[in-house]
Structure formats: structure tokens, C-alpha cells
């Protein structure tokens, strides 16, 4: 991956950030409303969407997380920048 990333990279990264935001908000809500079945279903749906989105992002652009949470293609991709948290 070169440092000039295509527009799709930023779009997919923003999509992941939106899903993460929704998951954090639902987590906070469910901490105080643990019996809200609709919120729990929405949380699980967003968690599945986030998993799929992260998988597609990583297959195309490289790993999002370190320490065994994400796979790396050959050659080792962690030396390539920018990392997701740098954009």
C-alpha cells in the first residue's frame, strides 16, 4: 500500500468509525438498560456489520489491530503507513 490512498480507503475507514461509535453508544445504553431486547438486537446487528466491514477493509488495505487481533498478508504489513489511527 502506498501513502497515497484511494478515496475508498477513507470511506471504509469512516464506515468503521461510524459502526464503532454506534457500538459504544449502545454499550453505554445497555449497561443501564440490560433488558432492552431491541437495543440488544441492534447491538448484535452492528457488531456483525462491523466484523464484516473490518474483514473487507483488512483484506484490501491491511490489518487494523495488532497483537493477534488481525492477520497480515506477506510481506508483514505493519511497516506500511499510514496506520488507521494516523488518518
- pLDDT tens figures, 34-74: 999 999 999 999 999 999 999 999 888 888 877 665 665 66
Are 64 and 84 in contact by the 8 Å Cβ rule? The answer is: yes
**Average per-residue pLDDT in the chain?**
82
- Classify residue 84 as exposed, middle or buried by CB count within 10 Å of its CB (0-12, 13-18, 19+): middle
Mean pLDDT, rounded, for 13-31: 94
To the question of pTM greater than 0.75 for the whole model, the response is no
27: Cβ contacts below 8 Å, ≥ 6 apart: 43
Does residue 75 carry a pLDDT above 70?
A: no
Q: What are the C-alpha distances in Å from 68 to residues 9, 19, 21, 33, 35?
A: 22, 22, 23, 33, 33
The whole-number pLDDT of residue 30 equals: 92
Per-residue pLDDT band for 76 (boundaries 50, 70, 90) equals low
Residue ranges covered by each domain of the chain:
7-86
Amino acid at each position: 500500500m502506498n501513502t497515497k490512498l484511494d478515496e475508498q480507503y477513507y470511506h471504509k475507514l469512516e464506515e468503521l468509525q461510524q459502526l464503532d461509535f454506534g457500538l459504544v453508544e449502545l454499550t453505554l445504553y445497555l449497561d443501564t438498560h440490560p433488558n432492552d431486547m431491541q437495543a440488544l438486537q441492534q447491538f448484535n446487528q452492528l457488531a456483525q456489520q462491523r466484523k464484516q466491514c473490518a474483514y473487507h477493509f483488512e483484506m484490501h488495505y491491511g490489518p487494523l489491530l495488532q497483537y493477534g487481533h488481525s492477520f497480515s498478508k506477506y510481506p508483514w504489513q505493519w511497516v506500511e503507513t499510514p496506520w488507521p489511527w494516523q488518518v
